[in-house]
Chain A
């Protein structure tokens, strides 16, 4: 016990230096956590992918539609237990900067997405109102929408003004499920289409009975429509999400590298300070050796100091991380709503980062500690400042 007290007291002897080092470590830690959380948010869609869901889209181009008739045909494929469809609407609400996902979807849109939670009365109201809209809780909070509000969307892919009534608000317990999307009736969209664009859908969602058979079912769907004017590409939800991410793989890769660099900087700061401190204490360590402490004691002492300083930094960093990340999640939700999932700290990531810091702290002291232990007492005592 006394050893620990000695180590802590010693570490805080030069309070300013310890404070600055801890602060530096804390900041680097926060940056690291921010970047990892950012990347995790990208992959949130992948993590949240249900193993029993498939997505079918036009093989030629993601921007091309599929005929509505396909939906019924897919229903009849063995292994399929449910089919839904939606169309990416695009457009914006009031200001092009207000960007969030909007889909024109079939009425039973959430049958295939049990993660969504909606009040049954609201769902009923939504289904009954041809111009009804169902929005995620995050959107409702952000724009202050209440049930019964009438809002107008400005379309771009589908030009013109679109008036909708908010009839339902959905939430979810699954962290990775997106609550920032707006849904309205595909029929409403279809009614306003010119003849040549009628009865088309963008994305078809498929639920399979048996997740282990999903590859077979996917193949069966594509087989069914091969060589037709609209060929399909059907893949598991996970693969679908991954394909979206892989388009930004370079960016993600860069961020991964940067987060590694952050850790490096962190270690540098720690190592620098600890090396300096150890060097300055050479005489003291020599005195301790002269008194009778063993080299191992000295090494443990130095390592202990490294640990204490690193731990202080880690504590500070974790403490700062939560509010800082919350602050930035607000900003990023605004910009990247369609691409990012939830922006929350994963305890696992924290644990990894902290152990890195602590391990790194002790590693940084390793060399100075070993040197301090090996120093001949007389040499050290002679090193008068």
Chain B
């Protein structure tokens, strides 16, 4: 009981301190912004070249501080890039013209069971588009998670859940790969095609090798490129063969169909609700289904990452503060001289703030540059929601770029504010004598 009270009190105290700091920084930022503007108008700012050169002259200290700041920005940017990459991967999966139908109540296809009658009814629905062959463009698919051993597995437990999808010709037409290295599997055989995200990462996951699951050997005849979407982490094979192997005949996991037009989705929803034969099903646009699959996971990564970055930023800000205090202490005479010559306190204040922010922005640039290098790396892990392993890319967007630079600038500001205040409040007579 007592520990709970103590925890709550401490949590409240910490929270209050944080709020005070944030409030203080925001207010001061506004004030200093106004000061800087008046200085701009009156033209009495300290030349920026003074700050730049002063930073460069104290190479070591500046460098170490810059490294710390760059590291923090790197972590911040990378995490945002990962979160964005997750969303992009899964959200880019599927087409807006496709509708995805699963059993009501199922969180994911894997939990869902759909019957052949459902497929028949939906194929006949007016909302379903007609394919080139004159037949409705709708198909049933079977989605199962298998346990695949990693390519370098040392034990029988070192593996991951991989999603296997039983598809028919129509399915392939509905979400076609942009290209296939090798060829597509032949229907009615034990041939499979793997997504490029799986290539080389699991035992047998290479062209012309074979993978073992569901008590059968499946030959890998092709590696498909699905444009970096979720399908790139799947294994595709013949629907009927999988139905047998997984003993799921006659049911499917899901039905995918092409909508006649973009607005047909609402009509389809209505149909599912009103038709007693269909109301155990629920429909979403294919892209929406996939986006929902990643939501929690992307949020988790973002949350964890930003939390880590914020903690790091405190440390980096303290580092910057220490450095700037030292700078101010070492340049007391210079500060005094500027004041004597007629520069006002606010000019000195803004000057040192700018120095700190410049340092931070430069460091931020370095951190971002390194972070953008992460785009060459791909990251595979289990998506908590779907339980299957998915491959993600780090994606740098203009928004992330701006956010990271602003984050850097804010860190520089927070670190430089107090030392700058000290610099500006130094009594002149003390300063010129060297403090």
Q: Taking the complex as a whole, does A directly touch B, i.e. does some CB pair lie under 8 Å apart?
A: yes
Closest Cβ of chain A: how far from B75's Cβ, in Å? 7
Closest Cβ of chain B: how far from A352's Cβ, in Å? 19
- Contact A250–B379 (Cβ < 8 Å): yes
Task: Give per-residue flags for B212-234: 1 if the beta carbon is below 8 A from chain A beta carbons, else 0.
Answer: 01110000000000000000000
Report A327-347 residues with CB < 8 Å from chain B CB. 327, 335, 339
| Complex: chain A residue closest to B379, CB-CB | A250
Closest Cβ of chain B: how far from A203's Cβ, in Å? 14
Task: Give per-residue flags for A98-133: 1 if the beta carbon is below 8 A from chain B beta carbons, else 0.
Answer: 000000000000000000000000000000000000
B65 at the interface (CB under 8 A from A): yes
Closest Cβ of chain A: how far from B31's Cβ, in Å? 23
Q: Which residues of A contact B155 (CB under 8 A)?
A: 239, 242
- Contact B322–A243 (Cβ < 8 Å): no
B157's contact among A60, A235, A326, by CB below 8 Å, is which? A235
B381's contact among A23, A34, A231, A251, by CB below 8 Å, is which? A251
* A323 and B7 contact, Cβ closer than 8 Å, known pairs A60-B213, A64-B246, A243-B159: yes
A156's contact among B107, B247, B323, by CB below 8 Å, is which? B107
A372 at the interface (CB under 8 A from B): no
> In the complex the two chains form, what is the Cα distance from A199 to B305 in whole Å?
44
- Contact B308–A258 (Cβ < 8 Å): yes
Q: Which of A27, A233, A324 has the most CB of B within 10 A?
A: A27
Q: Which of A30, A35, A269 has the most CB of B within 10 A?
A: A269
Closest Cβ of chain B: how far from A367's Cβ, in Å? 11
**Which segment, of B141-149, B203-211, B339-347, B404-412, faces chain A?**
B141-149
B159's contact among A16, A64, A246, by CB below 8 Å, is which? A246
A273 at the interface (CB under 8 A from B): yes
Closest Cβ of chain A: how far from B102's Cβ, in Å? 11
**Which segment, of B165-173, B181-189, B310-318, faces chain A?**
B310-318
* A17 and B325 contact, Cβ closer than 8 Å, known pairs A156-B105, A327-B10: yes
Closest Cβ of chain B: how far from A18's Cβ, in Å? 10
* A248 and B382 contact, Cβ closer than 8 Å, known pairs A61-B145, A64-B246: yes
> In the complex the two chains form, what is the Cα distance from A268 to B61 in whole Å?
10
- Contact A227–B11 (Cβ < 8 Å): no
Q: Which residues of A contact B389 (CB under 8 A)?
A: 247
Report B317-331 residues with CB < 8 Å from chain A CB. 318-319, 321-323, 325-326
- Contact A339–B323 (Cβ < 8 Å): no
> In the complex the two chains form, what is the Cα distance from A247 to B163 in whole Å?
13
A20's contact among B157, B312, B318, by CB below 8 Å, is which? B318
Q: Which residues of B contact A17 (CB under 8 A)?
A: 322, 325-326
A148 at the interface (CB under 8 A from B): no
B68 at the interface (CB under 8 A from A): yes
- Contact B64–A159 (Cβ < 8 Å): no
5 A-B pairs whose Cβ atoms sit less than 8 Å apart in the complex: A24-B315, A62-B147, A249-B381, A326-B7, A327-B14
Interface of B with A (CB < 8 Å)?
3, 6-7, 10-11, 14, 60-61, 64-65, 67-68, 71-72, 75, 103-107, 110-111, 144-147, 150, 155-161, 213-215, 245-247, 300, 308, 311-312, 314-316, 318-319, 321-323, 325-326, 379-382, 384, 387, 389, 434
8 further A-B contacts with Cβ under 8 Å, apart from A63-B387, A265-B319, A323-B14, are A16-B325, A60-B144, A60-B215, A239-B155, A247-B161, A247-B381, A276-B323, A327-B14
Interface of A with B (CB < 8 Å)?
16-17, 20-21, 23-24, 27-28, 30-31, 34-35, 59-64, 90, 155-157, 159, 227, 229, 231, 233, 235, 239-240, 242-243, 246-251, 254, 258, 261-262, 264-266, 268-269, 271-273, 275-276, 323-324, 326-327, 335, 339, 385
